[in-house]
């Protein structure tokens, strides 16, 4: 799949490919250089449902399911967030992101799921 737009003179595209256990998302973006001293930061966010515990290379679910996250831009950043199953039931969850800085960037993140070991 490919999504594109061009807001305010910028260009953005998102290419998505997937298989049964893997999704790969490539974001490319470029902005007109109006101030070369002010870099742009482009961020891919991955919202993890309650029950996922992030680590340096992805996350593990409470049942042992593994999610490996590889980002071409480098290290992942995990931020604690609150998820709402309904408006009165907040639960702890995570946002995992990776980012690139520049006026023309390409960031690819590949997420691969591995089922839990047999019991």
Predicted local distance difference test score (pLDDT) of residue 36: 67
The predicted pLDDT at position 8 comes to 83
pLDDT at 35: 65
Write the pLDDT tens digit of every residue in 29-87: 988 877 666 778 899 999 999 999 999 999 999 999 999 999 999 889 999 999 988 88
Cα(92)–Cα(58) distance, integer angstroms? 17
Full-model pTM = 0.87
Please give the residue that has the higher pLDDT: either 1 or 36: 1
- CA 29/CA 27 separation, integer angstroms: 7
- Please tell me the distance from the alpha carbon of residue 83 to that of residue 49, in angstroms, as a whole number: 7
Mean pLDDT of the chain: 92
The whole-number average pLDDT for the span 85-101 is 91
Q: What is the percent of the chain with per-residue pLDDT over 70, rounded to a whole number? A: 97
CA distances from 104 to 5, 11, 78 (A): 15, 9, 25
Q: Cα(first)–Cα(last) distance of the chain, in Å? A: 37
């Amino acid at each position: 799949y490919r999504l594109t737009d061009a807001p305010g003179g910028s260009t953005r595209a998102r290419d998505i490919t997937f298989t049964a256990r893997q999704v790969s998302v490539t974001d490319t973006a470029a902005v007109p250089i109006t101030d070369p001293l002010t870099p742009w930061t482009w961020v891919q966010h991955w919202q993890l449902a309650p029950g996922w515990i992030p680590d340096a290379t992805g996350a593990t679910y409470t049942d042992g399911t593994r999610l490996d996250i590889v980002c071409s831009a480098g290290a992942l950043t995990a931020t604690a967030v609150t998820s709402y199953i309904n408006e009165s039931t907040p639960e702890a969850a995570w946002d995992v992101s990776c980012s690139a800085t520049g006026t023309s960037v390409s960031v690819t993140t590949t997420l691969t799921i591995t089922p839990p070991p047999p019991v």
